[in-house]
Amino acid sequence: MIRNMVCAVLIVLCLLAIYFGSYLPYNKARRYIAAVGLLGGARRITLPEFQSELGAVFAYYSPVGQQEVARFSGNTVLDLMNRARFPEEVSRSLVDFLTPLMTGNDVRELLAVAYLYEYEWRTYHREGDFRKAEAYYQRIHAIAPRMPHGLYSLLGMYEAQGDEGKAREMTLAILGLWPKDERMRFLLENR
């Protein structure tokens, strides 16, 4: 009797593990692939259609896969914006749509958002985009101080902006973490 109950409980636990650990993540991934597949399809889709499809992927519950979808979405949209060179309002609409979906403390999600704002700044030259990208890179550095992406990206932005003082600060910060970085030594000596 007890043996049968233990077996029944184990079977239920296995089924729940399969459902939550495999079935739901699989469906979320399948929905994401279908949404992104619309971009390369024979029929052109509108921005609201894409946002609706991608929004449905984010809304679909799965205990696994939300961060991956956020990261992949950011990278996909950034790649798309680089290739398609959308009008500014379309580009901004995509960034405004994705940003609230990716504002956790996952460094890779924050990095995707920072890259989007940096793209906006480099393409459309709006100071607000620079400030947002800068804030995201600084947040990334605060969460993961030994992760190089934030510091190197900030350095590149400060150099592009012509802010030698902040570029020097970033160079020194990078050398403080990675003293053997020859490129940074060269930059520091030639500033």
- The string of pLDDT tens digits covering residues 113-137 is 999 999 999 999 999 999 999 999 9
Across 92-110, average pLDDT = 85
The number of domains in the chain is 1
Q: Can you give the pLDDT at residue 40?
A: 66
Tokens of 85: 């060179």
Mean pLDDT of the chain: 87
What is the residue whose two structure tokens read 């050398």?
175
35 located within any domain: yes
- Crossing angle between the packed helical segments 47-59 and 66-84, to the nearest 10 degrees: 160
Tokens of 128: 């607000």
Which whole-number Å values give the CA distances from 169 to 107, 121, 127, in the listed order? 22, 21, 20
Q: Give the model's confidence band at 138: pLDDT under 50 very low, under 70 low, under 90 confident, else very high.
A: very high
Q: Can you give the pLDDT at residue 134?
A: 96
With 60 as the cut, is the pLDDT of residue 79 above it?
Answer: yes
pTM: 0.83
The enclosing domain of 122 has a CATH number of 1.25.40
138 located within any domain: yes
Q: Can you give the pLDDT at residue 103?
A: 65
Residues of the domain holding 72: 12-144
